[in-house]
Homo-oligomer: A and B are copies of this chain.
Amino acid sequence: MTTDFKPTARSRVKRLHKRAHYDRETIYAILDAGFICHVGYAIDGQPYVTPTAYWREGDHVYWHGSAASRMLRHLEQGVECCLTVTHLDGLVLARSGFHHSLDYRSAMLFGRAHKVSDPDAKRAKLENFVNRIAAGRWDGLRPMNKKELKATTVLGMEIAEASAKVRAAGVVDDEADYALPIWAGVVPVRMVAGPARDDGRLAPGTRRPAHVEGFAHLGLAPE
């Protein structure tokens, strides 16, 4: 049941329409292939761009941090927000400088965030976040206490106005340039996760759980 987003004045991709996507499937796939976004907001007209971890649950994205965070304290007021996720896939080296490019996937969401205020709901969101990083990890952790929960703000935003831009074309040169003896090609780029490193202070006998291997669900290829 894929539904498309209706492009709005702010979400419509202005240029290179063939790179634009407004369907939920494409946008969710981009969101689900990463875990760092860049959140944009303006305070008294001054734009800020803050990198932060995010996760998606259904038709919402969530992010969190210290209750003292300037970004979170501003956004919890329900002001306009832009949340962008970008994955780089390749350096495109063409036969002319002009056609040098990047292959990438990016999603841009617009809306207003809301604070998850109910303590149980907030705890459930954080549980989902940790378990998204490493499946089943939450239940094995030292439980979150009231002070920690109070010190943490969780924001959510409905994914209601969104667009994606995807370039996966590789080299696209001017027709006449293909005859030139100039090397062109793509350098593939990706994010990888290396083998987990044990903390130096593990309690004796503590074993590394299976959930710290394999992070493809976060868009991280094995190294």
Contacts and interface: CB of A to CB of B under 8 A. Distances in A.
Interface string A124-146: 00110010011001101111100
A20 to B, nearest CB: 13
A45 interface: yes
Contacts of A70: 14-15
Nearest to A126: B97
B130 A97 contact: yes
A116 interface: no
B197 A188 contact: yes
A180 B142 contact: yes
Interface in A175-223: 177-199, 201-203, 205-209, 212, 215, 220, 223
A141 B96 contact: yes
Q: How many copies does the complex hold?
A: 2
Given A141-B182, A183-B198, A48 B40 contact: yes
B142 A182 contact: yes
A49 B108 contact: yes
A82 B38 CA distance: 12
Interface stretch (A21-29, A55-63, A85-93): A85-93
Interface of A: 10, 14-15, 36, 38-42, 45-51, 53, 66, 68-70, 80-84, 86, 88, 91, 93-98, 100, 102, 104, 106, 108, 110, 126-127, 130, 133-134, 137-138, 140-144, 148, 151-152, 170-171, 173-174, 177-199, 201-203, 205-209, 212, 215, 220, 223
Closest CB pairs A-B (n = 8)? A40-B49, A40-B47, A38-B38, A51-B86, A188-B194, A49-B84, A42-B42, A98-B148
